[in-house]
Amino acid sequence: MPDLVETLIEDDRWQREGLEALAETACRATLARLGLAPDAYEISLLGCDDARIAVLNADFRGKPSPTNVLSWPAEDLAAPGDGDAPGLPAPGPAGMAAELGDIAIAHETCAREAAEQGKSMADHVTHLLVHGCLHLLGYDHIRPKDAAVMEGLEVEILATLGLADPYG
């Protein structure tokens, strides 16, 4: 089984967290829930620190501060109307995985949030990876109905992994 997620770890603390395994599990569960064959796609993941993600956040969103997770879809699959389902990505040609996009996740912010929320780091990171993967697939939470759809999917996907509702 080929890796769905190609991971680059810039911050060694992610090695101890098992980021590669968490990402593979979270992203495979996300694609499976949407009826997509995980082996037909590829995601790039950067495990970094707050300083690095702050630079990325400034460069791409104009917000020069750390955040927990960022994502850059390879194609715009966004739903046309609030609450509509996004388009589905086409799989790659036979034997080639289609790129879904890139995700970056910051260790310090994730660790702080997990502690503040009384969650294990693994559970919190898994949720953020599902969240980031859904962004790559065109889901968003800016409009109210879109947010409800995205959060509902997150809860469903996390439940398949035995994790509690992060919004409950």
Residue 128 lies in a domain: yes
Q: Over 80: is that where the pLDDT of 2 sits?
A: no
Residue 167 lies in a domain: no
| CATH classification of the domain holding 139 | 3.40.390.30
Whole-angstrom CA distances from 14 to 11, 40, 93 are 6, 26, 33
Residue 134 is predicted with a pLDDT of: 98
Q: What is the DSSP string of 58-126?
A: HHHHS--S--SEEEEESS----SSTTPPPPPPPPPSTT-PEEEEEEEEEHHHHHHHHHHHT--HHHHHH
Query: Binding residue per annotation — 124?
Result: no
Q: Over 80: is that where the pLDDT of 72 sits?
A: yes
| 30-40 pLDDT tens trace | 999 999 999 99
The range of the structural domain enclosing residue 35 comes to: 5-160
Residue 165 lies in a domain: no
Residue 166 lies in a domain: no
Give me the number of domains the chain comprises.
Answer: 1
| 6-58 pLDDT tens trace | 999 999 999 999 999 999 999 999 999 999 999 999 999 999 999 999 999 99
Question: How many degrees, rounded to 5, is the angle at CA 129 between CA 27 and CA 61?
Answer: 125
Query: Binding residue per annotation — 131?
Result: yes
Residue 133 is predicted with a pLDDT of: 98
| 105-143 pLDDT tens trace | 999 999 999 999 999 999 999 999 999 999 999 999 999
Whole-angstrom CA distances from 17 to 14, 21, 71, 82 are 5, 9, 20, 36
